[in-house]
Amino acid sequence: MRIDLHTHTRVSDGTQSPTELVRAAVEAGLDVLGLTDHDTAGGWDEAARAAEGTGLTVLPGIEISARHHHHGVHLLAYRPDPAYPPLAGALGKILAGRSSRVPAILERLRSHGMDVTAADVRRASQDTAATGRPHVADAMVALGYVADRSQAFRDWLNPGMPAYVDRYAAELVDMLRLVGEAGGVPVIAHPWGRHGPEAMGEEALAGLVGLGLAGIEVDHEDHPPAARERLRDIARDLGLVVTGSSDHHGTGKDGHALGCNTTAPEEYARLVELATSARATGTAAARSPE
């Protein structure tokens, strides 16, 4: 069984439609595909339809933009009911923060001589429900200001660079509660990806277990081998599910090919079992598709 639990489509900042992603997953020989666009469940239905009759199982999820002690944290929520009003409201607030940041980024680019308009960004992000820096990057590429997304981030859009602007993110502890209430299973994405162990050490992770955290993404391209070993030990000590995934973004992000990291079948089975019991105990009337 080949199981990849974290991927993106054009509904957020990937470059494939949900249908194209499902086809690529089948071609890559995957058995289970976690579809986890940023802050939206907008691709779930199309992906489920595309997977019919292929033998591929799509595990619907959302990668939620959160914050913990002022550090950005991405929370993967598997099979929550996205229509549960408090969760829908929280996601709406994050999506609004994504959109309202764009003019500020464009203003900074303009002050550096790059004339990228809101219409240019809209053209570059037609299918998205979650506008982000990658779409600004795509507009910069289309206008010839940079060669690719990587250069746009490196020279302009990363923190510390001239056109970086922060955006709203939800409190992690609130999201752990809401995801549980919505019948979903929360897993922290690439916990040591950006800041290393500093932002999300063993003690911090231990503190989150009591708040409903179910797992951590250990095998991710942003984690060097030593970090993976250490995170695997921590997960075992804390009883957390260990996942592995590509964080595939189509051609939008280099080095994240489908299936480049995978989740062990027994860990996936634990996740599915947790999702089944979460649905039974969640406050939300569980309506998410199977």
- Point out which residues bind Zn ion (CB under 5 A): 63, 247
Which of residues 75 and 234 has its CB atom nearest to ligand AMP in the complex?
A: 75
Task: Choose the stretch contacting ligand AMP; rule: CB under 6 A; options: 83-91, 116-124, 172-180, 249-257.
Answer: 249-257
13 binds Fe ion (CB under 5 A): yes
Confirm or reject binding of residue 156 to ligand AMP (CB under 6 A). no
> Smallest distance, Å, CB 259 to ligand AMP?
18
Binder among 153, 156, 192, 268 for ligand AMP (CB under 6 A):
153
Residue among 6 and 270 whose Cβ is closer to Zn ion: 6
CB of 274 to ligand AMP, least distance (A): 25
Write the binding mask 64 to 93 for Fe ion: x where contact by CB under 5 A, - elsewhere.
Answer: ----------x-------------------
Give 192-207 as a 3 state SS string. CCCCHHHCCCHHHHHH
DSSP lists the bridge partners of residue 63 as: 38, 76
Q: What is the C-alpha separation between 254 and 37, in angstroms, rounded?
A: 17
Residue 219 near which of Zn ion, ligand AMP, Fe ion, none (CB within 5-8 Å, type-dependent): none
- Interface stretch with ligand AMP, choices 77-85, 149-157, 202-210, 213-221 (CB under 6 A): 149-157
Q: How far is the CB of 13 from ligand AMP (least distance, A)?
A: 5
Return the structure tokens found at 237.
């000590």
Return d(Cα 290, Cα 277) in angstroms, integer.
13
Residue 165's CB: how many other CB atoms inside 10 A?
Answer: 17
State which residue, 74 or 270, has the beta carbon closest to ligand AMP: 74
The residue from 60, 132, 244, 259 that contacts ligand AMP (CB under 6 A) is 132
Residue 248 near residue 258, CB atoms below 8 Å: yes
- H or E stretch covering 87: helix 85-111
Rounded CA separation 24/117 (Å): 33
Q: Which residue of 34, 60, 61, 134 would you call a contact of ligand AMP, by CB under 6 A?
A: 134
* Full 3-state SS string of 125-192: CCCCCCCCHHHHHHHHHHCCCCCCHHHHHHHHHCCCCCCCCCCCCEEHHHHHHHHHHCCCEEEECCCC
Per the CB < 8 A criterion, the answer to whether 248 and 257 are in contact is: yes
Residue whose entry in the numeric block shows the structure tokens 């080949």: 2
* Binding of ligand AMP by 248 (CB under 6 A): no
Query: Footprint of Fe ion on this chain (CB under 5 A)?
Result: 13, 74, 189
Query: Footprint of ligand AMP on this chain (CB under 6 A)?
Result: 13, 38, 132-134, 149-150, 153, 249, 252-253
